[in-house]
Amino acid sequence: MAELTRFYNMFQPTHYNIFLDINRESKQITGQTEITGDAQTQEIALHQKGLKVSKVQADGSDVSFITDNENEAIRIKLADTGMVTLKVDYTAQLTDSMMGIYPSYYEIDGEKKQIIGTQFETTFARQAFPGIDEPEAKATFDLAIKFDEHAGETILSNMPEIKTENGVHYFDTTVKMSTYLIAFAFGELQSKLTETKSGVQVGVFATKAHKANELDFALDIAKRAIEFYEDFYQTPYPLPHSWQLALPDFSAGAMENWGLVTYREAYLLLDPDNTALDMKQVVATVITHELAHQWFGDLVTMQWWDDLWLNESFANMMEYVSVDALEPDWHIWELFQTSEAPAALQRDATDGVQSVHVQVNNPAEIDALFDGAIVYAKGARMLVMVRALIGDDALRLGLKNYFAAHQYGNATGANLWQALGDAAGINVGTIMESWLEQPGYPVVSAKIVNGRLVLSQKQFFIGEGKQSGRIWQIPLNANYENAPRIMDQAEVDLGDYAALREQNGKPFRVNVGNDSHFIVSYDKVLLDDILENVNQLDAIDQLQLLQDLRLLAEGNQISYATIVPLLNKFSESQFSIVNDALYRLAGDLKKFVQVASSEEKNLQKLFDQLSANQVQRLGWLPKTGETNDDQLTRPYVLNAALYAKNADSIAKAHEIFIENKDQLEALSADIRAFILSNEVKNFGDEQLFDRLLREYQKTSNPSYKVDITRALTATTDSALIDKLVTKFEDANTIKPQDLRAWFRGVLANPVGEQAAWDWIRNDWQWLEDTVGGDMEFTTYITVISGIFHTAARLQEFKQFFEPKLNTPGLTREIQMDIKVIEGRVQLVEDEGIAVNKAIESLV
Ligand SMILES: [Zn+2]
């Protein structure tokens, strides 16, 4: 196994001169890199991966070198230590891996075209040029690029172009920065440009396959986000421009390259006249996330990958802080509660989960670090806790000082806590350490014991978990004043309950606002008190109640059967996020019923009960002037009505389809997915299937693509499922970046489960070759573990994945996912009968 040594300790670069000649036709890259730096030892190493190095010179003289592919290195022996300029000549291949320098493919009017772009995070800059490819090794860069250029092409990079000579494009010298943030791209691009109040050039770039107005939304958000951050951080945007570029092939969601942020098309471009509000919100948060990084991550960078959370948690919080300022009517923190909070609470409840801060011992583990639910979502919840503790004034002052102290350099988590703590006068570091270094989170039990109100904390698990006495410093945010601000002990006695209840005049609650990363288990008296007064709770607190109950049931601490009757209590809610929590809980019941059984019929009746009035109230078609909550609630209830096989809804959706059958893309994006799914499921044939698949290939509208994916994977025709699975490896139909959604859709469809499961087991090697070097790879395993719930599938899962336990980067995921499925199988076994009885008694 490759060993992880830091090359920066041997050689510290200060400046790079990089020349690249890229030929798309031959897929050949010819490069020459000059690196000036300080050699600490005579034997040094530079990173490289897949480079064919022909010559290395030190201060103009040839030196001997060894290519060490196992360690992704060139080993060089110098005559002396001290300042030296190295020159490396090499060639490399353009590969279709979505890493390093790679082509993105698209079509205009049937003509195949490509854009060359880059993805260097985490350790892929070394596929483009040799260097010290570690975040700490900051240097300045002069980039010069030549390519097989034709008229009408544009080239972009981190810095503005300063001249073109003999077909070589020269870019201005960068500021001091890390290698993983270097980027460039070229091809036929369209753009929209503007300028911030402070004079930063802002641009959005995309292929010409898109309509020009698809760039407008992103341009507006990007401009205002930079203005917001310059003010909030009290630190100017550090570069002359901020380009946002949509790439047709892109593995992650987006990448914060400094000055040239790259995005999946679906996360940057949208039709301003027909995009669902929730999709607009997602696009806005992706843009504001990446732009938050331009300071936090790019200007000040984590010292090493173990502090990746520092970058990601922070950007993940700031995306909401900024969107909330830019679009206050959206109540964007509600999205935080329906996306980040449940993701973090679910995954962090599995024994064996990583802590937010985690050591990195092996290169393959760097990519495995990107556990979205932990490093992004849980980390963001931690910072939301900090923000709630110290307030925005201290947060802003702390950040300003943090940027001033570490700009163009690196920092650790401790540096951030220090800066925020100094600004707030609180020891933030001590409080946060328990959250940062310990995996998991606590359930706080609130109980009346001998008339006294007692709180206790204990680690919460879904599935099997071993208590190891972990204690967290919990910002309680209770609504009774005598509760401590921070609960740092296993148990705390708040006093006589009757007196407290009387004195406070309201039901006792903790974690009000759901800002802290824990769940609450109330005893029956306390819970009944809350439920009797539930209408006094705001939307987030109602969501939290349902969410915590669902998690407690998943963790086998209360019975699902006891919460089934509560569903009706919330079904008329006009808060979209309460409906989110409600239907998530209702959806969880599906694992207890077998397809087409009498139990499933009962569950369908329950879904019908829950949704019928709301479907009536909202109607199938969006109405002008309706509230955001109504717009966002409609998808939940329509989806429920279709699952319930409500005859009126099926007929209505079919009618809308027939009326619009020549213009499906123009259907309202709010409901298009349901209209198409209903049609495929209940009225579909091969002709419709083929038509939708063709439209999927042809359209440049990302949200239409998502809707078609949903519809086609819902087919109940097993022949069409088989046909679909044969398309999985056909990149002309389904791009590798989009495959996981197709795989998930087919696997989650009872008619398709077997076919998808067979496919991934048979073609695992293909999958590994195609997306294996990538941070998204392990999420295919997560997807499977999110769906399987029978003993037979558990057995097959183990049989297939246990032999892969020693694969670097997969170990933790496989161990966790076995636990996840085991826990679910056990739950279904223990609770199935009682849950189905509870459902039956309601319908
Ligand atoms: Zn990020």
> Tokens for 816?
């966790």
Q: How distant is the alpha carbon of residue 525 from its chain centre?
A: 39
Distance of CA 44 to the CA centre of its chain: 37
Query: Using CA atoms, how far apart are residues 205 and 104, in angstroms rounded to an integer?
Result: 14
**In a 10 Å sphere around its CB, with 0-12 CB exposed, 13-18 middle and 19+ buried, how is residue 208 labelled?**
middle
pLDDT at 562: 95
Q: How far, in Å, is the centroid of ligand 1 from the Cα of 228?
A: 18
- pLDDT tens string 698-747: 998 999 999 999 999 999 999 999 999 999 999 999 999 999 999 999 99
How many angstroms separate the alpha carbon of residue 582 from the centre of ligand 1?
30
**Ligand 1: centre distance to CA 19 (Å):** 28
Name the nearest CA neighbour of 72 among 105, 103, 47.
Answer: 47
Burial track 154-188 (b if 16+ CB lie within 10 A, e otherwise): ebbbbbeeeeeeeeebbbbebbebbbbbbbbbbbb
Tokens read off for 721:
């499922």
Q: Residue 2's pLDDT band (boundaries 50, 70, 90)?
A: low
CB-CB contact of 41 with 81 (8 Å): yes
* Distance, CA of 263 to CA of 248 (rounded, Å): 9
Q: What is the 316 CA–ligand 1 centroid distance (Å)?
A: 7
pLDDT tens column, 111-170: 999 999 999 999 999 999 999 999 999 999 999 999 999 999 999 999 999 999 999 999
Q: Is the pLDDT of residue 1 over 50?
A: no
Query: Do 214 and 206 contact (CB within 8 A), yes or no?
Result: yes
Q: What distance lies between CA 140 and its chain's CA centroid?
A: 30
Q: Tokens 């059984």 sit at which residue?
A: 597
Cα–Cα distance for residue pair 342/338, rounded to 1 Å: 6
In sequence order, what are the residues at sequence separation of 6 or more whose Cβ sits closer than 8 angstroms to the Cβ of residue 629?
574, 575, 576
CA of 260 to the centre of ligand 1 (A): 14
Note whether 297 and 411 are within 8 A (CB): no
Contacts made by residues 633-638, CB under 8 angstroms, sequence distance 24+ = 633/574, 633/575, 633/576, 633/579, 634/670, 634/671, 635/276, 635/278, 635/670, 635/671, 635/673, 635/674, 636/576, 636/579, 636/580, 636/582, 636/583, 636/611, 637/579, 637/611, 638/611, 638/671, 638/674
Residue 443 is predicted with a pLDDT of 98
Residue 713, pLDDT score: 98
For ligand 1, the distance from its centroid to the CA atom of residue 693, given in whole angstroms, is 32
Question: What is the chain's mean pLDDT, rounded?
Answer: 96
Given this model, what pLDDT does residue 649 score?
97
Nearest to 443 by CA among 371, 369, 534, 523: 523
pTM: 0.96
Confidence at residue 774, expressed as pLDDT on a 0 to 100 scale: 66
Quote the ligand 1 centre to 312 CA distance (angstroms).
5
**In whole angstroms, what is the distance from residue 562 CA to residue 230 CA?**
50
**Residue 367 vs residue 813, higher pLDDT:** 813
The one-letter code for the residue type at 207 is T
Give mean pLDDT, residues 301-305.
Answer: 94
> Would you please indicate which residues are annotated as catalytic (active-site) residues?
290
- How big is the chain, counted in residues? 843
> pLDDT confidence of 77, banded at 50, 70, 90?
very high
From ligand 1's centre to the CA of 291, what distance in Å?
9
Q: Using the mean position of ligand 1's atoms as its centre, give its distance from the Cα of residue 293 in Å.
A: 7
* Ligand 1 centroid to residue 611 C-alpha, Å: 37
Query: Cα 751 to chain center, whole Å?
Result: 28
Over residues 552-564, the pLDDT tens digits come to 999 999 999 999 9
Residue 358 pLDDT grade (very low, low, confident, very high; cuts 50, 70, 90): confident
The model's pLDDT over 4-30, given as tens digits with 9 standing for 90+, comes to 789 999 999 999 999 999 999 999 999
SS (H, E, C) 491-559: EEEEEEHHHHHHHHCCCCCCCCCCCCCCEEEECHHHHHHHHHCHHHCCHHHHHHHHHHHHHHHHCCCCC
Q: Compute, in angstroms, the gap from residue 120 CA to the centroid of ligand 1.
A: 13
* pLDDT digits 0-9 by tens, 787-828: 999 999 999 999 999 999 998 788 999 999 999 999 999 999
CA of 289 to the centre of ligand 1 (A): 6
**What pLDDT, in 10s, does the model give residues 517-549?**
999 999 999 999 999 999 999 999 999 999 999
- The pLDDT-based confidence of 775 (bands split at 50, 70, 90) is low
| 331-350: pLDDT as tens digits | 999 999 999 999 999 999 99
Query: Residues 339, 341, 343, 344: is their CA dihedral positive or negative?
Result: positive
pLDDT(251) > 50: yes
CA–CA separation, 542 vs 435, rounded Å?
A: 25
pLDDT in tens, 508-518: 999 999 999 99
Strand partners, 242: 202
Give the Cα separation of 677 and 653 in Å (integer): 9
- Which residues fall within 8 angstroms of residue 792, CB to CB, at 6 or more apart? none
With a pLDDT cut of 90, the percent of the chain lying above it is 94
| Start-to-end C-alpha separation, the chain | 58
Distance 811 CA to ligand 1 centre (A): 24
Q: What is the pLDDT of residue 769?
A: 87
User: Omega into 122 within 30° of 0, i.e. cis?
Assistant: yes
Residue 295 CA, ligand 1 centroid: distance in Å: 12
Helix (H) or strand (E) holding 347, with range, is: helix 340-347
Confidence of residue 250 (pLDDT cuts 50, 70, 90): very high
Amino acid at 426: I
Compute, in angstroms, the gap from residue 287 CA to the centroid of ligand 1.
10
Give the Å distance between the CA of 353 and the centre of ligand 1: 20
Strands in 303-411 per DSSP E: 409-411
Residues of the chain with pLDDT > 70: what percent? 99
Q: What is the pLDDT of residues 647-704, one digit of tens each?
A: 999 999 999 999 999 999 999 999 999 999 999 999 999 999 999 999 999 998 999 9
Calculate ∠ Cα 614-620-626, nearest 5°: 75
